[in-house]
């Protein structure tokens, strides 16, 4: 599917990123396996995870190189993209997968918690994408795949920083798609589901949560990789500015913000008419304020 393409996968040392890197190589891509080997919270470095993935790819007959630069700093992210160009002569796809968790209930969240998550998840995706855009524009081709989350699309407790960054990725992806369509560059998002190092950190505080976790432990990262490889391939040339979600053997096209319903008053609106007319007319269409992913996807993964 991606024969002779060059693909950068960030956060590829473990979990979903690792699964994507392995399948990209299996389908013929030369892969830059980027991972600084940090903890879940973004601390520390370890070259081992990225190198182990590279070794696994090479042992299977594939082509890969490890990269340990951080997505969080603009110039450091430039080195990730340059690694692809220097090693393989070009770049065809960037998979923005790198992430951290700084989960905490909102009223206890610190500025440091907020900044750390936004810097890696959202600014990091901008950094790599911006540097790759120069190459894509010149060669008039390229693809971005950004890993968003139902935490941002739907909502999640204790993840205001993570959710904001992940929903921000959808806006970033859409803007890239609009700005770079003239250069035959595509940008899409995937909200993955898998049992990984990140999701294993979620506490099971009650029996229902424990049951949900037990179900999700059956979903390995590998389920998410096929769609990513497809979106990087020429077979997906007509797929741009979309948001997908993968849930074991299910793939969903997710909705994007569009008007649901509206009201018009020829003489305009006042606070009183908003209360008396607008609110009663629209409230049946309101989304539940505390609705979370497990309530929207209420059935077991298939």
Specify if 278 maps to a domain.
no
Specify if 123 maps to a domain.
yes
Catalytic member of 162, 216, 223, 287: 162
Domain residues for the domain of 237 are 6-253
User: CATH number of the domain that 234 lies in?
Assistant: 3.40.50.720
Specify if 75 maps to a domain.
yes
Specify if 302 maps to a domain.
no
pLDDT at 218: 76
254-302 confidence digits (pLDDT tens): 999 999 999 999 999 999 999 999 999 999 999 999 988 888 988 888 8
Specify if 283 maps to a domain.
no
Specify if 158 maps to a domain.
yes
14-68 confidence digits (pLDDT tens): 999 999 999 999 999 999 999 998 767 667 678 999 999 999 999 999 999 999 9
**DSSP code string of 134-185:** HHHHHHT-EEEEEE--HHHHT--TT-HHHHHHHHHHHHHHHHHHHHHGGGTE
pLDDT of residue 204 exceeding 70 = no
The verdict on whether 162 is a catalytic residue reads yes
Output the pTM of the full model.
0.92
Domains in the chain: how many in total?
Answer: 1
């Amino acid at each position: 599917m991606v024969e002779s393409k060059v693909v950068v996968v960030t956060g590829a040392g473990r979990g979903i990123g690792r699964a994507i890197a392995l399948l990209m190589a299996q389908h013929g891509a030369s892969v830059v396996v980027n991972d600084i080997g940090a903890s879940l919270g973004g601390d520390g470095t370890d070259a081992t995870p990225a190198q182990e993935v590279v070794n696994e790819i090479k042992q299977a007959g594939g082509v890969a190189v490890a990269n340990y630069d951080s997505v969080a700093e603009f110039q450091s992210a430039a080195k990730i993209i340059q690694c692809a160009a220097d090693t393989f002569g070009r770049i065809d796809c960037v998979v923005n997968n790198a992430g951290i968790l700084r989960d905490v209930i909102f009223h206890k969240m610190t500025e440091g918690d907020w900044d750390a998550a936004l810097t890696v998840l959202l600014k990091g995706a901008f950094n790599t994408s911006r540097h790759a855009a120069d190459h894509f524009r010149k060669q008039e081709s390229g693809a971005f795949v950004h890993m968003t989350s139902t935490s941002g699309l739907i909502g999640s407790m204790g993840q205001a920083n993570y959710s904001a960054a992940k929903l921000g990725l959808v806006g970033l992806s859409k803007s890239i798609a609009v700005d770079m369509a003239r250069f035959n560059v595509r940008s899409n998002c995937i909200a993955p589901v898998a049992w990984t190092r990140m999701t294993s950190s979620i506490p099971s505080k009650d029996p229902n949560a424990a049951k949900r976790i037990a179900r999700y432990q059956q979903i390995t990262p590998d389920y998410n990789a096929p769609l990513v490889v497809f979106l990087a391939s020429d077979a997906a040339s007509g797929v741009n500015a979309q948001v997908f979600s993968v849930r074991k053997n299910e793939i969903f096209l997710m909705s994007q913000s569009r008007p649901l319903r509206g009201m018009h008053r020829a003489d305009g609106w006042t606070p009183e008419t908003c209360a008396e007319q607008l609110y009663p007319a629209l409230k049946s269409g309101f989304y539940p304020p505390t609705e979370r992913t497990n309530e929207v996807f209420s059935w077991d993964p298939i």
